[in-house]
Amino acid sequence: MPEVYRIADAMPPHFHVLVLLAAFTGLRFGELAALQRHDVDLERRTISVRRSQAETRTQGLTITAPKSGAGIRTVAFPASLVDELAAHLSQHVEPGRSGLVFVGQRGGRLRRNNIRRVWLQALRAAGLSDVHFHDLRRTGNTLAATGGATTCELMHRMGHSSVRAALIYQHLVNGCDQAIADHVDEQIQRSRRDRGGSDGLSGT
C-alpha cells in the first residue's frame, strides 16, 4: 500500500489518479485508457467498463469492446478516491460526456510507451525498481481477496472470463462488490494514518 502512494505521488498530476484506480480497482491499462466521463459515477462510487483500448504496430490505437462478456462490468471504487477522482475530472479530462478520463501529457491518447517513460521516472523518485504498471492490477486483486471476496466475486471484479464466472455474475449482489471496495477503503485510511495523517494525494 505505501508503495502505491509513493509511485502515485511521484507521477505527473494527471496520472496520479490513474495509478490509484489501477491499484484499488484492478482495471487493466487498456480499460483505463478507454474510460469516458459518463463511465464514472461519483455518487455511487462505480466505474462502468464498456470498452478497452488496444495498441498494435499494424493498426495503432483502437477502441473495442472487451474480449469477453465478463469484461463488461461495473466495479466499485473506495470512498477515499472520490475527492481525488472528482478533482481529476474537473482538471485533466477531455470535455463532454464521452471525453476520455485519462489523456497524455499533451492531451493525446494514452500510450504504453509514454506511460512507461514517466512510470520509470516515478519509480526512481519513489526509490523502487522492478515494478510494472500491471503489478497495480495484481495489487487490486490481492486487496479484494483479503477483503473476503469469493473466487467468483473476484472474477467479476477483475473481468475474468469463464462459464462459471458468467453464471455467478447474474447473481452477484452489488452490495457485496461495494463491501470489497469498502475494505480497500479501510486499507487506504490505515495507510494514510501510518504516513502521519497526510493524505499525500495532491499529485505534486
Q: What is the pTM of this model?
A: 0.78
State which amino acid sits at residue 38: H
From the list 6, 137, 157, 183, the catalytic residue is 137
From the list 50, 160, 183, 192, the catalytic residue is 160
Supply the CATH classification number for the domain 2-194: 1.10.443.10
Edge to edge, the sheet with strand 46-49 lists 40-41, 46-49, 73-76
pLDDT tens, position by position, 133-150? 999 988 887 777 767 677
Give the confidence band of 58 by pLDDT, cuts at 50, 70, 90: confident
Question: With 60 as the cut, is the pLDDT of residue 122 above it?
Answer: yes
Report the candidate in 72, 84, 80 with the shortest Cα–Cα distance to residue 47.
Answer: 72
Q: How far apart are CA 160 and CA 1, in angstroms?
A: 24
From the list 37, 109, 111, 169, the catalytic residue is 169
For residue 197, give the DSSP letter: S
For residue 146, give the H/E element and its range: helix 134-146
| Residue 171 appears among annotated catalytic residues | no
Q: How far apart are CA 23 and CA 131, in angstroms?
A: 13
| Residue 192 appears among annotated catalytic residues | no
| Residue 6 appears among annotated catalytic residues | no
From the list 28, 51, 156, 157, the catalytic residue is 28
Question: With 60 as the cut, is the pLDDT of residue 199 above it?
Answer: no
Give the HSE-up count for residue 45: Cα atoms under 13 Å, Cβ half-sphere.
Answer: 21
Delimit the domains of the chain by residue range: 2-194
pLDDT tens, position by position, 94-103? 999 999 999 9
| Residue 190 appears among annotated catalytic residues | no
Report the candidate in 189, 150, 141, 142 with the shortest Cα–Cα distance to residue 173.
Answer: 150
| Residue 160 appears among annotated catalytic residues | yes
Q: What are phi and psi of 99, to 5 degrees?
A: -65, 145
Q: Which of 1-5, 25-29, 192-196 has the lowest mean pLDDT?
A: 192-196
